[in-house]
Amino acid sequence: MDKTLTRFTSLEAMKRAEREAWRNVSSAEKIRAVTEITTALYAMKGSMPDFAEPGNFAWAHPVMVDILSSISGVDFDQAWQRRVEFAVDSDLNASFISREDLVVAKLAAGRPQDPADAAALGAELEGGAAASA
């Protein structure tokens, strides 16, 4: 990734150049860049959290990846068996929670937006339970 410093005459020009730069970067390179930035920020802060510990999580803009040690309504071992694998690049794979487990977790979390998210994922809501559409 190019780390050249550029001077911009306006915020709009900077944002336009940033969008264009990210558009031309592979998904794998975006994930590597976010990892590098996140690690550097934690190094400046003093310590990198152990994501296996309850309560620790990471979120990094602009890729918006959540790393959670636990979620409501879903058993990790069972969810791991149902995970969805995705090849981000030839040398980088990522595992994601299954649609069904995500719906269950959304409904168990009970936040105001979660029922709408579950519905958008195609869940049928009957008596608080989610079923595959």
DSSP 23-55: HTS-HHHHHHHHHHHHHHHHHHHT----TTSTT
Stretch 4-17: mean pLDDT, rounded?
78
**pTM reported for the whole predicted model:** 0.49
C-alpha Rg value of the chain to the nearest Å: 19
| 3-class SS of residue 58 | strand
- Whole-number average pLDDT of the chain: 74
**Of 107, 129, 132, nearest in space to 118 by CA:** 107
Say whether 63 sits in a helix, a strand or coil: coil
**Position 87 confidence tier, pLDDT thresholds 50, 70, 90:** confident
The Cα–Cα gap between 24 and 43 comes to 28
| Domain-wise residue ranges, the chain | 1-65, 71-133
Return all residues near 52 (Cβ < 8 A) that are at least 6 apart.
Answer: 69
- pLDDT at position 108: 92
Distances (CA, A) of 28 to 34, 84, 90: 10, 17, 9
Q: Residue 48 — very low, low, confident or very high, per pLDDT cuts 50/70/90?
A: low
Residue 130: what pLDDT? 44
Which range has the worst mean pLDDT, 6-20, 31-45, 72-86, 90-104?
A: 31-45
Residue at 17: amino acid letter: A
Q: What is the pLDDT of residues 23-45, one digit of tens each?
A: 877 877 877 777 777 777 667 66
